[in-house]
Structure 1
Amino acid sequence: MPKIDYRLNTALNTFDIIRVFNNSGITRPTQDAARIALMFANANVVVSAWDGDHLVGVARALSDFCYCCYLSDLAVDHAYQRQGIGDALITQVRHAMGDGVSLILLSAPGAMGYYPKVGFTAADNAFVIKRQA
């Protein structure tokens, strides 16, 4: 198993992010590099996972740093999945937030079984207005 290095708010190459997204199974608008770049430029918490100089995972979040943090993306390259990297990315986000901040996310249907295993509690009180584009 490789030694994975975790970095907080390190500048990332957009095409490395797109590669991780495409290799992870997550659905994101990876055909639109400018949108991916803006998604990460406007996030205020990004934790990245590295195998040497190779990006293998990302967690992207938005937070007020005092009450709540929305974990918008959690993606690990398929070749690196099931090694605890997703768990470690979540732990790194939680560490950056502190105990006074709730971590919130919307799960992809295929990941619904994963999040309870890493400490999330299902909520039945979420609402969404879907994006138009």
Structure 2
Amino acid sequence: MTAMVVMETGRFLISTDRSKLDVDVIHGFLARSYWAAGIPRATVERAIENSLCFGVYDGADQVGFARVISDFATYAYIADIFILEPYRERGLGKELMASIMAHPDLQGLPRWSLGTRDAHGLYVQFGFKPVDNPSPIMMEIVNPEIYSRS
């Protein structure tokens, strides 16, 4: 993957340039989130290294993040998507999702998914819908020795 600027509007930038990522901001948010509470920094770093990451920036400050886990041929999973609280309600989440869905390496994939209990209109705008019968895909292994989940 090559770093690329995905979207620039006004003072905000969305970029896949890994050198811009602020792991302190990303880890700080994820460690307090309902889906990754207590996640170790080393785990976040490893996840970033092995994903296509999108950062949202206000100048030099990172204000949002998402990562895509994919084989770039058949499937993509959007994970760890967030906009910091002071920057919400400005359309940045929508711009972040649009940037992800438009990324050239993710075009033509037959299957996308994301996991959230915040299933609101944002994701529906991009074609996501609740799974009709989630029970076959709801199996998981959670290792509490790695990090606790609430």
TM-score class, shorter-chain normalisation, is: 0.7 to 0.9
Decide whether aligned partners of structure 1 residues 67 and 74 sit closer, same or farther in structure 2, where only a CA change above 3 A counts.
Answer: same
2:48 corresponds to which residue? 40
SS of structure 2 residue aligned to 1:87: helix
Deviation string for 1:69-102 (max 9, x for gaps)? 111121110001111111111111111111x113
Number of equivalences: 128
1:94 corresponds to which residue? 101
1:103 aligns with 2:112: yes
RMSD: 2.4
Deviation string for 1:9-64 (max 9, x for gaps)? 423232121234468x5542455211111111121x11110000000000111111
1:130 corresponds to which residue? 141
Alignment map for 1:49-88 (pairs within 5 Å): 49-88=56-95
Gaps of 5+ in 1: none
Please report the TM-score for the alignment, with normalisation by the length of structure 1.
0.81
User: Please, which of 7, 11, 16 is the counterpart of residue 3 of structure 1?
Assistant: 11
SS of structure 2 residue aligned to 1:91: helix
Q: Distance in 2 between matches of 1:21 and 1:82?
A: 20
Q: Distance in 1 between matches of 2:38 and 2:64?
A: 15
2:28 corresponds to which residue? 19
Decide whether aligned partners of structure 1 residues 3 and 20 sit closer, same or farther in structure 2, where only a CA change above 3 A counts.
Answer: farther
- Which of the pair has more CA radius of gyration? 2
The alignment-based identity, stated in percent, is 20
